[in-house]
Amino acid sequence: MTEEMILTFDAEFHAVAWVDGKVAMLDQRLLPHKESVLEFDSCSAVADAIRLMVVRGAPAIGIAAAYGAVLAAREAYRTDPGDWLRLAVPLLAQLAAARPTAVNLAWALDRMRDRCAGLMGDPEPALLKEARAIHDEDQAANRRMGEYGADLIANGSSVLTHCNAGALATGGYGTALGVIRAAFGRAKLKQVYAAETRPWLQGARLTAWELLKDRIPVTLITDSSACYLMQQGRIQWVIVGADRITANGDVANKIGTLSHAVAARFHGVRFMVAAPVSTIDLATPDGAHIPIEERSPSEVTEFSGHAVAPPGCNALNPVFDVTPAALVDVLVTERGVLAQPDEQKIRDLLRPHF
């Protein structure tokens, strides 16, 4: 891992890029105080970067894994051109194990494996073309989702978003923030509230940074303030992304999403999930079957390396929670909008591509 010159992340902020035969990532652990780009030239280094949250957000993780698969094929081919695919298998397994909850990771790797079939000679050009297609398709999907979601928002609305589902979490533009960007562009939004999103503070560090870069006014709130603002009638929509959507429409997203969904339903606030169809996992029947990643307790007991809890204090640190489909008013995808999503509606949405 080497730190290089800062790339230009203007207008749209790119979490991941392919630059001169390497995978470049904007180090999101350092934002908003430092904009630093790291470059990786091995599959294992990309897997470590995903695990260590240099890059995060389900679509961006999938894109990073796709580029990592290119590096895996390159390494394997250079070792044994005649048997490179066998050698690439354990390298791809490293990528797959980096973050277990985000389904886009497995989806992108499955697509890259499918592209490997029947390749003759050096596999890198064909696999790089596929990885770039995954990246480009995600950007285009985000823009379509943004327009679909903005159509649902009334003029003068105030919205709440949780975690970061913007350009930093995707191939560009964003899912939840794509909707917010599109709605702001149409002068529909009165106010955007960003929940801080403990313990990694993606809302405070990343969402606020993105929106201010785009000159979209944002007000940061503590996670526990959201219910109060809903009670006061100051929020009309909660808009979030997703790391996995199950066959029945349950949604895994950053921890705290479920609390916002429950509060929104009680207060008559509408709840929108914006996610590409690659986030839908028909192989997982419902939220009870989603593996929920847990990270180090130190992320809760410490802040920036400084203890905030007494020595010996235990902490639980689940990274995601599951919002039941019954609490989702609309699911916005690049293929259209599902009101009150359920298994039949989701299968109907995907059916033309079976």
Q: Which tokens sit at 237?
A: 């929509």
Instruction: Return the pLDDT at 8.
Output: 34
Q: Is 243 a catalytic residue?
A: yes
Read off the pLDDT of residues 85-110 as tens digits, 9 standing for 90 and up: 999 999 999 999 998 777 889 999 99
pLDDT of residue 10: 38
Q: Of these residues, 138, 243, 250, 329, which one is catalytic?
A: 243
Q: Which residues of the chain have pLDDT under 70?
A: 1-13, 352-354
Per-residue pLDDT tens digits for 192-224? 999 999 999 999 999 999 999 989 999 999 999
The pLDDT of residue 303 is: 87
Task: Report the pLDDT value the prediction gives residue 13, as an integer from 0 to 100.
Answer: 65
Domains of the chain: 2-140 (1.20.120.420), 144-353 (3.40.50.10470)
- DSSP assignment of 45-84 equals HHHHHHHTTSS-SHHHHHHHHHHHHHHHHHHHHHH-TTSH
**d(C-alpha 241, C-alpha 331), whole Å:** 10
Cα–Cα dist 133/66, whole Å: 10
Q: Write out the two tokens for 257.
A: 């999403």
Q: What is the Rg, in whole angstroms, of the alpha carbon atoms belonging to the chain? A: 20
At residue 291, the pLDDT reads 92
